[in-house]
Structure 1
Amino acid sequence: MNVLLIGSDPTIFQTGKAVFGDTRKRHLAYARQLREVCGPASQIRMMAYTPRGADYRVRELADGLTLYPTRSFHRVTFLPDLARLLPTVLHRWKPDIISPQGPWEEGTLAFFLARWLGAKYVPQLHADIFTESWRREHWLNPWRFFLGSRLIRAADGVRVVSQGLKRHVVARLGVAEEKVAVVPLGVNFTPVDPRTPKEDFKKQIASQLSGRKTVLFVGRFCAAKNLELWVEVAQMVAQRQPGVAFLMAGHGSLLPQIQQLVEEKGLADRFHFLGSVGHEKLPEVYAAADVFLLTSHYEGYGRVIVEAYLAGVPVVSSRSGGPEDIVRTGVDGFLTAQPHELADAVLGLLADPEKAARMGRAGQARMREEFSLEVLVPRLVGCWVKACGHERPRAGQNFADAAAANEVRP
């Protein structure tokens, strides 16, 4: 089986400790699994947005994964640049599956390309496009919803990252339930040695965290994360427990605005902003936290929650879509909607370290069992195989050849 992926994340071309995310490792795992299931001739080719100024070239990696950068002057030229790459990508190669990361701009190109080549069209849905917050986030989003809805309805299969998104796709778009596969993003995350005291990581990150309970945020500083509410909850917590510190890791256009808000509320001495943190350094950041707090308007999934749990940190989150699939109130964290309830949940965990540790362990055990790469990578490859309408080929057999020989029955 051959799979063509189309995405907009340039970090797949990056390596090293400063890289934010584990995109490349995850896709290498997909490629290995595809070859194991569908034979050694199977390939994944991925076309991804990259800026023109970056020194990215076509990269043929291990296990049948090849990367093609668009080297675009601007995001607005992404689609023409994808079209320009197609003769190179398709030279003496034909995909069985074409799967765009989003079902709108690149999804349109992927749909018509799939129909032209006779491939299966399997778009992915990572964002909760059914919320008003998402539609208001960008002036193009209402149009993206209109276009994406139609392309999802026309798909041969759809990959979504949460049960909530599946329910919306089935109920609101009328897609048959069996066509929608729930496959969250597998997280490649190795926690620190649990024998190392939490205090060591606090001192390592910032002296102002030393000796203080610490509440953590990791993510983009953007409208969807509702970080004004995060600061409001932090203020409530600080008023009732003066010794608490707040740690925020990430970058984005709203970072200066949030820093200014913290200043205005007189909380500057309580907050520490880390900026962008490379994926390999994130386990040390989570290890310094006593509670992880998320206040998003919406989340398609909630990857940072999975990371927090893998680090053994309990989670307090707003009810915002994806987190409702992950957080179990009273078991490994708390889900709520009101600011004072979020603050109460944080304060309760800070005041009861044994309870916080117990919830963190419960979340960690579940993440390893249900959200690890080892579990989710086979599910995604299974989604592709199902979309092709075939059963699993025998080991070592090329998927296309097996189908032609009637070895794989529809």
Structure 2
Amino acid sequence: MRVAIVAEAFLPNVNGVTNSVLRVLEHLERTGHEAIVIAPGARDHEEEITHYAGARIVRVPTVMVPLVNSLPVGVPSATVLETLAEFKPDVVHLASPFVLGAAGAFAARQLRIPAVAIYQTDVAGFSQRYHLASLAAASWEWTRTIHNMCQRTLAPSSPTIDALKVHGINHIHRWGRGVDSVRFHPSKRSEGLRHAWDPTGRKKLVGFVGRLASEKGVHRLQAIHPREDVQLVIIGSGPEQDYLEQLLPNAHFMGALSGEKLAQAYASLDVLVHTGEFETFCQVVQEAQASGVPTIAPRAGGPVDLITPGKNGLLLDVDGFEDELGPAVDQLTRPDLLPALKESCRRGVRTRTWEALCEQLVGHYEAVISSAQEVPLTIIGQRPALPRWAQKALGARI
């Protein structure tokens, strides 16, 4: 099988979209499939890789967008159509399509190649967080246009599927995210790291892992920051780092971590708190659970499927999150409950391997390829009606 992946984000930028694409590429190489990736280019100071897991990486120019200045956005161009026409894939995989992925969707339709769209980013929710209500409405209109041009949309959680249905998106299937339960493991706990964070050995080590940006709601940790029995550990980087360092002066800011350093950090926490309510899945919750660390998150989006209250963590109301956070941390760190919580966290991720999830994904590829062979895709003479801003953005680019 030949698979073309059009990714809204890719290395050297590391986030949930990138991580999923990397695992898919590794699986495709391991199982004998061919792949190519079309992705945004690196910024000037970053190294740009040209191949990964046997797949060639084709880059498009990038632009920086206000409010999300740590995430370069790929510019739709003729490169997308030309690359797909040359590679002749059996299926096009659109990883969190919105800008570059939209060009991929149009190109796949023009070339009559079946496409699978992976919904991973709640752009409308982010827009609301940035107080851009008009953009939120346009985002849903645009998302519906992109996804309904594809033969199948894969969404990671039941709340996300419900939201997509409400906004008129069709042919939705559930596809979660895998976790590396070997890398993320309770055995990676480091007493040296815990001592560095809390030399007294008496504090509750409460961590956050993720991008330091407004939509992640990290400021909510201010509710427990003053407590003398709590030590906050912030792992990640992003545009709000300077602001958060001023807001939470006693927290340890570790920067962005990866690999074994990240695995050690997870396992050395007592509790992980994810503060944002716009997660379509929330991989950090799953990685923390694999590390034997109970988790707290808002009762919204992906964490609703991952956290069973009282078993592996707690879900808090979005509106009352700050008020409930302190008692939730106290409950999850009770000495008489913590061992059972840790065991339940670990037990819950045993079947969520990337190998199993990628096998499911290949099954989705095969299904849309088979359907396209039975009922050939129609050549669309005119593009679907688009918002004016989208017409301007994509215009003649593809």
Q: Same fold (TM over 0.5)?
A: yes
Whether 1:245 and 2:231 are equivalent positions in the alignment is yes
8 A Cα contact 2:85 2:111, kept in partner? no
- Quote the sequence identity (%): 22
CA shift at 1:182, angstroms?
1.6
**217-226 or 374-383, which deviates more:** 374-383
* Partner residue in 1 for 2:244: 258
* Partner residue in 2 for 1:303: 283
* Partner residue in 1 for 2:93: 99
**359-368 or 225-234, which deviates more:** 225-234
Distance 1:195 1:144, change over 3 A: closer
Q: Which has the higher helix share?
A: 1
8 A Cα contact 2:11 2:49, kept in partner? no
Structure 1 residues 322-401: aligned runs within 5 Å = 322-337=302-317, 338=320, 339-350=322-333, 352-369=334-351, 371-389=352-370
**334-343 or 192-201, which deviates more:** 192-201
* Partner residue in 1 for 2:69: none
Structure 1 residues 21-40: aligned runs within 5 Å = 22=19, 25-32=22-29, 36=31, 40=32
Q: SS at 1:122's partner residue?
A: strand
Structure 1 residues 6-405: aligned runs within 5 Å = 6-11=6-11, 22=19, 25-32=22-29, 36=31, 40=32, 42-51=33-42, 53=44, 54-56=46-48, 58-59=50-51, 61-62=53-54, 65-70=55-60, 72=62, 78-80=74-76, 82-84=77-79, 86-88=81-83, 90-91=85-86, 93-129=87-123, 131=125, 134-137=127-130, 140-173=135-168, 175=170, 179-191=171-183, 194=186, 198-203=190-195, 205-206=196-197, 208=199, 210-235=201-226, 238=227, 242-263=228-249, 268=250, 271-337=251-317, 338=320, 339-350=322-333, 352-369=334-351, 371-389=352-370
Deviations 1:103-130 (A, max 9, x none): 3222321222112211112222112356
Paired letter, 1:78: G
Q: TM-score, normalized by length of structure 1?
A: 0.78
- In 1: Cα distance, 2:122 partner to 2:74 partner: 23
Q: SS at 1:359's partner residue?
A: helix
Paired letter, 2:245: Q
CA shift at 1:198, angstroms?
5.0
- In 1: Cα distance, 2:185 partner to 2:140 partner: 44
Answer 1 or 2: higher relative contact order, Cα 8 Å, separation at least 6: 1
CA shift at 1:211, angstroms?
4.2
CA shift at 1:378, angstroms?
1.0
8 A Cα contact 1:13 1:56, kept in partner? no
Q: TM-score, normalized by length of structure 2?
A: 0.81
- In 2: Cα distance, 1:348 partner to 1:384 partner: 44
- In 2: Cα distance, 1:117 partner to 1:151 partner: 16
Specify every segment of 5 or more residues in structure 1 that has no aligned partner in the other structure, as ranges: 15-19, 392-399, 405-410
CA shift at 1:196, angstroms?
6.9
CA shift at 1:360, angstroms?
1.9
Q: SS at 1:104's partner residue?
A: coil
Paired letter, 2:350: R
Q: SS at 1:353's partner residue?
A: coil
Paired letter, 1:224: E
Paired letter, 1:359: L
Deviations 1:283-305 (A, max 9, x none): 11012101111121321111000
8 A Cα contact 2:155 2:176, kept in partner? yes
Paired letter, 1:372: T
CA shift at 1:189, angstroms?
5.0
Distance 1:345 1:25, change over 3 A: same
CA shift at 1:275, angstroms?
1.1
Q: SS at 1:99's partner residue?
A: strand
Specify every segment of 5 or more residues in structure 2 that has no aligned partner in the other structure, as ranges: 66-71, 377-398
Paired letter, 2:160: L
CA shift at 1:366, angstroms?
1.2
- In 1: Cα distance, 2:59 partner to 2:188 partner: 41
Instruction: Provide the aligned C-alpha RMSD in A.
Output: 3.1
**97-106 or 253-262, which deviates more:** 97-106
Q: Please identify runs of 4+ aligned residues in structure 1 that moved more than 6 A.
A: none
